[in-house]
Structure 1
Amino acid sequence: MVWWLMPQALAQDVSITALFKPDSANPHINQFKNTTPPSGYCQLFPGQCEENKTFSLQVPIRFDSNRAIPANHASPRQGATFSVPAQWRELSVRHDSGAVEQVRMRITGVGSMYVTEDVQKLTGDTNPDSRYAHNLLWGQSWVYAPSPCLYSGVGYYSPNSYGFFWKTPVQAACDKQAKFDVPWLRYDHLDFSYELVTPNPLGMLAGHYTGSLTYTVGPNGDFDFGDVMLPSSPVLTMNFNLDVQHTLKVDIPPGGEKVQLVPAGGWQSWLQAGRRPVRLFRDQTFNISASSRFKMQLECEFVFFGGNDCALDDRVSKRQVALQVSVSLPNGLTDMSGQPVRHMRLRTGGANALYFQPGFYVDRAPGVLHFEVPQSQMAFMLEPGAGPSYGGKATVIWDSEV
């Protein structure tokens, strides 16, 4: 009696990491970059994987035959067969704040290194190149994948082993039939490639999102290698960590923090002809870089009657006039309904904060803060007895913590 000793069945985990960090050289590329170190087939043959746009990982799940594989076996499940979860699966990734986003994944390739007896002894082939004996054993080279799997590149072999990797475009079994008796067979590890669809990072919070997706391994599981080849682990769990590193930066030109409001054309008409200005205003430009949602709000040293606007104060007469502040943002930044931001009024208090979102990464694009004492305030401001100047502080806040 022959006893088949199987490795202890333990759950197997693998980590998949991705990073979004805005790139000023490519501001319109708003996608995560897969930062998972490659292993397995793509580590051995990076050129093949680059050419085929394949990214592989290797996990130490071993498959051992529980009985001999007979020559010309009638059922594919009695020999070498491979079926992997090539259809899309969806999982949730969660931010520390509780925010949830969706990630989609599918397996796009499978490979390993099979190990058995010396194939020249199994087949009786005398060619010193054992590749020919491998081909005789299975009827064709393992470089050439059985349908519906597809060729992906080179293989590597020794007299008793053969490393391979196949593309898996659909979820269906890919079978190899042994042409000679195989007393035992082992797959030393599990290689797989995968494709991810990640969320739009511009709509995500900065920080880490984590989640997991578990596949079953073994007969009739997600990774199903037939009834003969039994795995050392019944499950394979993918642990995801998506790192979002947003940019929100505002640059105001030197001296831009001191704003002097003047009428159109200056003060000459008032000083020389007594013509009251229609309004006082100043447009202050700034440069903004933004890759995420943000809000803007207004804080005032003096709050005008009614509580929505800042006020300018005449330090002598203690009169106050309204100061209205509004903002225009560059193309690529919109309000939350997707509309362009042009002269949008800022009002005091957190409850009146305005929220904005990027359609793409905006890098050092010009925006404008508009400061104005409106026409309705001019007569009061210039009445006899008013002080010579009005002043006050208005603080404009850009906040990425939304």
Structure 2
Amino acid sequence: MINLYRSLTVMLMAGLATLPASAAVKEIEALFRPDSANPQSNEFINQTPSEGFCLQLPNQCKPEGLFSLVAPIVFNAKDPIRAFHTDPRQGGMAKVPSHWQRIVVTHESGDTDVLEVRIAGIGHEAGLFEPVTDIVEKQAGDDFSLAWSILWTGGSWREAPAPCLGVGSATAGPNGYNSFWKVPVNAGVCAKQARFLIPAFYFRYFVYGYQLRTPNPLAMKSGRYLGSIEYTVGPGKDFDMGDLMMPNDNLLQLNFTLTVEHMLKVEIPPGGNKVELTPEGGWQAWLNQGRKPTRLFRDQTFNLWTSSQFKMQMQCQYTLGDTCALHEPDGHAVPLQVAVTLPSGLTSAGNRPVIRQPLRVSGVGTELFEAGIYIDRKPGVLHFGVEQADVERMLSSGASTYKGTVTVIWDSEVG
């Protein structure tokens, strides 16, 4: 567990005039790390390199957030594919889990969130045991590309059957054909009818395209979240290539790792850890005109970088009730009021902006601040003050200086 923790200690002075074993397994990793060059982008970035289609034609995939991987599962037809078969399940077909599915991902602390995934494409490395030109009875001569286009009703495998969508690209040889179909959400069976008897047919492997909906990283803890999903493979299963095509493995498992690398950084200007409380306009009105100050205060700015939830706490050298105090040498003390204003984009309970939120020793009221966007070096303010009644007591005490140390803590460990 990574705990981001920042604190500021200030010296204050108020001076009076001073899978199962058989499963094919793939690992998919996504990362959230704040990017100062693009602070509005608060999303996970897929770190798993695509294989197959999206590797070869990334421009076909990137606009749709599509990625592809290769499943090393071989399919062999148990029987010949008959010419002009009327049952879609007796030819070349595919049906995949194209609907969105929820996957619970779990942090090492036990916190959970939800990732969604769907299979959005299917590709085949299809093969024949004899040249395609022979199977189509030499009707294409020696032109194997033409032979593939007349082997199936509606054109070659590149011409995707509805509801699947073709991508206009494929590679072909005398005995093999590599193609890819995009699959809309909740699509059903996509099937090709053979126009000639195919004695033997196989898929060397298949490529599956997938899309992700990742959770909001700004509401997640730093660290890793793990989850997985299992798909069944075979006739009538999640990945279904028809009744003839039999796989050599019946499971495909996807393991997901979401890594959150939050930032929490506080920058105090030089000298900002020493705060002197003064009246409005300074001490001259009292020294020259005898006009007593009504309150003492100082606003101390700071710069904040954060992409995480965090809380704020306060520790004191001297304490009075639930707040810090300032002391003078003879032991007289007055309460010090401390509050914080945070940059726009950070909110407290009830989605309220944080403006002069009191800081308490108990932490009450500052237990949780949430980032709606990545805060990239935005200014905040710590407000220090002594109220009028306490200023009057300070003046009547005869002491010249009150001091105290306050430690302000920004802490990402909010659970």
Q: TM-score range by the shorter chain?
A: over 0.9
Q: Is 1:76 equivalent to 2:88 in the alignment?
A: yes
Matches of 1:378 and 1:44 in 2, distance apart?
74
Aligned match of 1:198 in 214, 229, 245?
Answer: 214
Question: For residue 400 of structure 2, what is the aligned residue in structure 1?
Answer: 388
Question: For residue 176 of structure 1, what is the aligned residue in structure 2?
Answer: 192
Matches of 1:109 and 1:354 in 2, distance apart?
45
> Does the Cα contact within 8 Å between 2:65 and 2:211 map onto a contact in 1?
no
Change (3 A) 1:80 1:36: same
Q: Kindly state the Cα deviation for residue 74 of structure 1 after the two structures are TM-superposed.
A: 2.2
Correspondences of 1:153-172 after superposition (within 5 Å): 153-169=168-184, 170-172=186-188
Question: For residue 6 of structure 1, what is the aligned residue in structure 2?
Answer: none
Aligned match of 1:32 in 12, 28, 44?
Answer: 44
Q: Is 1:229 equivalent to 2:230 in the alignment?
A: no
Q: Kindly state the Cα deviation for residue 129 of structure 1 after the two structures are TM-superposed.
A: 2.6
Q: Is 1:313 equivalent to 2:327 in the alignment?
A: yes
Deviations 1:188-246 (A, max 9, x none): 11201111111111000000000001111111111111110011211111100001011
Q: Is 1:325 equivalent to 2:338 in the alignment?
A: yes
Q: Is 1:133 equivalent to 2:155 in the alignment?
A: no
SS in 2 for 1:259: strand
Question: For residue 271 of structure 2, what is the aligned residue in structure 1?
Answer: 255
Q: State TM-score, norm by structure 1.
A: 0.94
Q: State TM-score, norm by structure 2.
A: 0.91
1:149 partner letter: C
How many pairs were matched up? 390
Question: For residue 276 of structure 1, what is the aligned residue in structure 2?
Answer: 292
Matches of 1:111 and 1:369 in 2, distance apart?
58
Matches of 1:361 and 1:167 in 2, distance apart?
34
SS in 2 for 1:377: helix
Structure 2 unmatched ranges of 5 or more: 1-20
Deviations 1:358-386 (A, max 9, x none): 111110000000000111201110115x3
Question: For residue 348 of structure 1, what is the aligned residue in structure 2?
Answer: 361
> Does the Cα contact within 8 Å between 1:211 and 1:241 map onto a contact in 2?
yes
Q: Kindly state the Cα deviation for residue 275 of structure 1 after the two structures are TM-superposed.
A: 2.0
> Does the Cα contact within 8 Å between 1:52 and 1:152 map onto a contact in 2?
no
SS in 1 for 2:277: coil
SS in 2 for 1:104: strand
RMSD over aligned Cα atoms: 1.4
Aligned match of 2:76 in 64, 71, 78?
Answer: 64
> Does the Cα contact within 8 Å between 1:346 and 1:354 map onto a contact in 2?
no
Question: For residue 11 of structure 2, what is the aligned residue in structure 1?
Answer: none
SS in 2 for 1:260: strand
Change (3 A) 1:252 1:52: closer
Structure 1 unmatched ranges of 5 or more: 1-8
Aligned match of 2:372 in 359, 370, 376?
Answer: 359
Deviations 1:39-87 (A, max 9, x none): 0122233343346653211110111111111111121111111100111
> Does the Cα contact within 8 Å between 2:348 and 2:366 map onto a contact in 1?
no
Question: For residue 114 of structure 2, what is the aligned residue in structure 1?
Answer: 102
